[in-house]
Structure 1
């Protein structure tokens, strides 16, 4: 169903070919908006292009390449004469204890999950400012609040994403640009499947991996998460994001997913407790 009660907007969504990115694109199009999606594989948005031939454009992009990002964002703005909403969704998970992570893996991961979003945001600001305002959405996770053994590199990238994004929100508010940090819980995407990246395992961490994942084997066998997962439908995340963007109060952070509030509460409690009982945080009792 297409909604036409407000002016049509143009979205730029990175990683729009599948999973959450595709769900965001589908929901935007159903609301009567236009979408420019970046993908790593040509034709990844073909189904959406057939369904919405006048409202979808696809751009090949590796967000780790800052120069290519600048050109792609300019192209995206030209596609429909401006940008209104930019969603930094491209990213991947990573499993590995710190001792197992190679220098190149660490740099590649942060280039994708942290710097990619930074370059896209940087390139989008002039276009949103020219429009008189707009939205930048950073797809984060409840893992940006806390941490988990073997996910330290992933946690580091998302914590850093939130750090620069919170500062960014104060920098660009003067231009009418709003920033959203979307902290997602579990959704049925390929994040934990074939998209997951792994460090070379060391035997010393077999017991830890067994405790955390139920097996010491790395990488774990690939599955079809959209067929087998008990996590939520990505469309729920898309609907929640659209509702958040329509909220006049528009808080900086939004928890998305039925399990997200519980995970966030546990992570904040653990961080508070990490200071020890001697620190005065107005402890109950």
Structure 2
């Protein structure tokens, strides 16, 4: 049975790859982008099965209008995929106020607005699946992406807390947590801070890890996303890529060791 899927940030990268995969198998797709010219090829090929919508997710009113337009056009929204976002590269000290605010406006607040707009529709339907494109960096951090990490940690906390709120309405939630992939996320779509020389070494150490096999193939995520969308009992969290699991495993083992080492202090603080 075909689904109606609303996906933000669909002009390139994961968004466009997944939108096309849904369309190929007969789903209906509402594809939003700041520049819908990048969707013209999909419109020409899939015609009435795709509704392109020009949208800046930072504009809450525009997000609500777009979601309601999508529902009116296709009659329902089965799946919302909050994919819009970008990377902000730079040490925390280097980051300007505007850069930090812009990062959260898109990565967190844009996602929040679309989620809020979709819930009443899905509640009325008594079904729906909201998929938040987070990151492995919403679970474990690396340096030089501090504000990006923080925005994805916020997405994780928001989404997990929503599960018991919307479950009674038949709404499911999933966090997709990719490791690095060969998309435009770290390229033209990324923002870089004005560098301060003292952070050059930590940047060099991080970038030294970026060997060719460190980056996943975006096309290889299609099978996983289709399986997630079709699952009757989708997971709350799903890693994409083989780098994510060992990174998080190492991170959490270190966390538990530290918590255990300080457990007596923690207990005594209870009173």
TM-score by length of 1: 0.87
1:253 pairs with 2:237: yes
The offset of 1:229, in angstroms, is 7.9
What is the rounded CA distance, in whole Å, between the counterparts of 1:269 and 1:195 in structure 2? Answer: 33
What is the rounded CA distance, in whole Å, between the counterparts of 1:20 and 1:134 in structure 2? Answer: 21
1:185 pairs with 2:185: no
1:277 pairs with 2:265: no
1:160 pairs with 2:154: yes
What is the rounded CA distance, in whole Å, between the counterparts of 1:237 and 1:271 in structure 2? Answer: 29
1:126 pairs with 2:126: no
- Could you say what secondary structure the match of 1:156 adopts? helix
> What pairs up with 1:97-136 in 2 under 5 angstroms?
97-136=91-130
CA deviations over 1:244-272 (Å, ceiling 9, x no partner): 23333322111122222222212322332
The offset of 1:186, in angstroms, is 2.3
Q: Tell me which residue corresponds to 2:7.
A: 13
Q: Tell me which residue corresponds to 1:63.
A: 57
Q: RMSD in angstroms over aligned alpha carbons?
A: 1.8
Q: Which runs of 5+ in 1 are unaligned?
A: 1-6, 215-227, 281-285
Greater than 6 Å deviation, 4+ residue runs: none
What is the rounded CA distance, in whole Å, between the counterparts of 1:248 and 1:133 in structure 2? Answer: 11
1:262 pairs with 2:256: no
- Shift in alpha-carbon separation, 1:175–1:31, aligned structure 2, 3 A: same
The offset of 1:276, in angstroms, is 6.0
What is the rounded CA distance, in whole Å, between the counterparts of 2:258 and 2:144 in structure 1? Answer: 19
- Could you say what secondary structure the match of 2:259 adopts? coil
The offset of 1:8, in angstroms, is 1.6
- Shift in alpha-carbon separation, 1:101–1:213, aligned structure 2, 3 A: same
1:30 pairs with 2:24: yes
Q: Which runs of 5+ in 2 are unaligned?
A: 265-271
1:72 pairs with 2:66: yes
